Amino acid sequence: MTTKVTTKVTTKVTTIAESTIIDFLDALASEQSTPGGGGAAALTGSQAAALLSMVINFTVGRPKYAEVEDEMRAYLQHAESLRMELYHLINKDAAAFEAVSACYGMPRTSDAEKQARTAALQEAMRGAAEVPYQIAEHCLILLQMAKPVAEKGNTNVVSDAATSAHLAFGAILSALVNVNINLKYIKDEAYTAEWSDKAQSLVASAQMAYNEARAACSATLGVTV
């Protein structure tokens, strides 16, 4: 007779995104730089994606919604992809900020060291601006998906689509704060003008998508959301 031995494997948490909810919140509240606003925005966006996926999962496979089955499955695949991308951006945002912080520790005793430090810092600042922009971009796609899901999804859970829209919109605005604050310190005027325009355009698109999502959710639910 063979006795089966089960070994419990404990995986060490090595990234911010792998921490428990309470650990993440404790770290967010503490006197440390990461996680910060960008990571919080990414996590919020990931939760928005998860809620949208939930609405879709309550829709697919139901005979009542057979006509939109294929469309909903496509939205589900996209929402789940965005959920994981936003999850990974929690760590990517922290890494971008830490790259900026590392530059401040570079030596600057000679002119050559000062120039190297400035160049490295400017490059790191670009990363610190572009990562939260990616977060905002992903959340915009989610926000644009909320309208059709609210219109065609399972009416019993459309309130969760409304919550998803609120979270996604908040995540966009929060992420773009981090874009703009980093652009403030970048000396390349052409670069800052380009990315400022992109951020402003994204906000305009987000506001439109948010209004449409809210209207769709309100119409389906019969209450203002």
- Sequential pLDDT tens for the chain (225 residues): 333 333 223 333 358 778 889 999 999 999 999 999 999 999 999 999 999 999 999 999 999 999 999 999 999 999 999 999 999 999 999 999 999 999 999 999 999 999 999 999 999 999 999 999 999 999 999 999 999 999 999 999 999 999 999 999 999 999 999 999 999 999 999 999 999 999 999 999 999 999 999 999 999 999 999
Residue 8: predicted pLDDT: 29
CATH number, residue 192: 1.20.120.680
Amino acid letter, 223: V
Is 3 a domain residue? no
Residue 9 lies in a domain: no
Q: 205: helix, coil or strand?
A: helix
Query: Token pair for residue 142?
Result: 């989610």
End-to-end CA distance of the chain: 63
Amino acid identity, residue 145? Answer: M
pLDDT of the residue at 15: 80
Domain that holds residue 61: 37-221
Asked if residue 53 lies in contact with residue 75, where contact means CB atoms within 8 angstroms, the answer is no
Residue 167 lies in a domain: yes
* pLDDT for the residue 14: 52
On the 0-12 / 13-18 / 19+ scale of CB atoms within 10 A, 104 is exposed
Inside any domain, residue 12: no
Measured CA to CA in angstroms, residue 102 lies from 27, 95, 108, 175 at distances of: 20, 10, 13, 22
Separation CA 136–CA 92 (nearest Å): 14
Q: Is residue 101 part of a domain?
A: yes
Please check whether residue 92 lies inside any domain of the structure: yes
Q: Are 91 and 135 in contact (CB under 8 A)?
A: no
What count of Cα atoms within 13 Å lies in the side-chain half-sphere of residue 102? 12
Residues 6+ apart with CB under 8 A from 73: 56, 60
Q: Judge whether 60 lies within some domain.
A: yes
In a domain, 18, yes or no: no
Domain count, the chain: 1
Question: What number of other Cβ atoms are within 10 A of residue 77's Cβ?
Answer: 12
**Within the chain, what is the greatest distance between any pair of CA atoms?**
76
